[in-house]
Structure 1
Amino acid sequence: MSKRWNWLLALAVVCPLMASAATTGDVYLVLKNGGVGTFKASALRVYANSDYASYNKTAYSPTVPAAPGQTFTVSFRGLYVWSGYQGNYQFDVNYTDTSVKKVTVAAGTKFPTGTRALYVSQLGVTTYNPGAAYAFSIVNDPPPGVTMRYCSPEYPNRATDLWVAWSGMSYFSDFSKAVLQRTTPGSSFWATVTTGSYGFSSHVDRGRLPSTTYRYRVAIHDNSDAITYSEPIECATASSDADGDGHVATALGGDDCNDNSASIHPGATEVPGDGVDQDCDGSDLVLGDADGDGVLDASDNCPAVSNANQSDLDTDGAGDACDTDDDADGVEDLVDNCPVDANANQADVDGDTVGDVCDPDDDEDGIMDTHDNCPRLPNPDQADADLDGVGDACEAPELR
């Protein structure tokens, strides 16, 4: 018999058998979440692969999220019964973890004839669900963590800002996010500082309290909500007077314009022309301008007292700001009853301590001297019988 007739005879025998191959009822693959994190619905692709490709089937599981330790089943209907030479099944589970995984949970599985529900577990094929003890474990691994490296006050606001850094973040297939968390010693509550994506490796945490210790850690999440926490790192913000000069930083409501240098604070000795504002008055002292009024000492009429306007009432070369006798009348300003009007005799007719030279109402009658018809004798009524402009109070009777 020729090879052609042998092939046709074999085909004639096989084809009727294939056409009449029996199938099962419902088949349930029994699985268990044996790792960390929750398998989301349809996160697993499960293959029932036969030795005859046309018998292959695919299902997605779980139908609802499966938490760690939870058992669930994957349902197949109409798998083929073992025919004696075909219908040998292998069950593979594909899913994304730290890498894309393919796990063979059962091989060489053969189903008997019948319409009863069948279960595939570590016990093989049974007509009952054997439960979690014999379920195939599918493991979601914890995500790789990071190592905390640095934690220190951040310049220039060292009393309120902390710089935190970590290393060792490796890429993995189901990476979700990295979360920087903060707490204080003795507290069990970790607050979220910020959230980042892959490559996130440092952060400045601003607005903390001065002289306060904080603890930080990084939580790496995967897509199954599994979390790996780093070991915490601890550091403290600087004092509100970081340089110890007795002045609180302006950023914290104080008056120290540079809290990183003890030589800079209000009242500090200013160094002329060095470009540094040592006394925090808002400007550097100009070289050769000891009082900082913008007028060089060589031409300043008060080189040790600030007087930008250089006022000199008596033109004696000593500015009013530092002249002890502004009107040059020989009477010191501190006792002069008219310090800016020369009056060496210190006359004060009304005894009000304001000298007559600068007193606008010498007789204290309520009438200003410029309008008073008797400026040196009180006459509030301003009586003037002869209307000659001289008040009766100060005019001789025979002249009235």
Structure 2
Amino acid sequence: MTSLVNEPNSAPCWMSGCNCTVSLSQGSYKCGGCKPGFLGNQTSGCFPRKSCSALTFNPCDSHAHCSMERNGEVSCRCNVGWAGNGHTCGMDTDIDGYPDRSLPCMDNNKHCKQDNCVLTPNSGQEDADNDGIGDQCDEDADGDGIKNVEDNCRLVPNKDQQNSDSDSFGDSCDNCPTVSNSDQKDTDNNGQGDACDQDIDGDGIPNVLDNCPKVPNPMQT
């Protein structure tokens, strides 16, 4: 068998008890990754992977899976089709991370609150009119009495449906109310559409003088 040459102040992998894989080469050795069932690395060593099965009490819901973090903390996560904080899980029909019914979680976790669109995925739970029905499944998302399919400002209340230009956006939500701009493009995100913004890129140089009207370059180099 080829003799092994150890690095200073180190011992072969199996002698140092690193529980890692070892590869041999001419006159040397190399410690590899941790063996199955162990966590860590060559530098810090490999330690037995702690398992939830060793716990005397599993804090996770019966519809959640348990995992042990490296620091020894127990982590609970609800299974697919269920939602909650992991310690308490409820059915999640649309699989968007919110339960069909409110859950009695002690930590006030937002994912324990009832889904405002039980049958329609909406992980953001947006609700423009705060009526408890999510925008994704609310026929009148802004609560102005105009159904979404007819509303020219679906998320901004505007009962009068005023529309001064010829695009499909009402004045209440149009970033250029008097200039038609169906794309509503706003390069500098200042709330004013490019079609009517005198400084499209927001660099302080008016479009008529800007040598890069759509790319910020205040030095005009």
TM-score, normalized by length of structure 1?
0.21
Q: Which has the higher strand share?
A: 1
TM-score, normalized by length of structure 2?
0.37
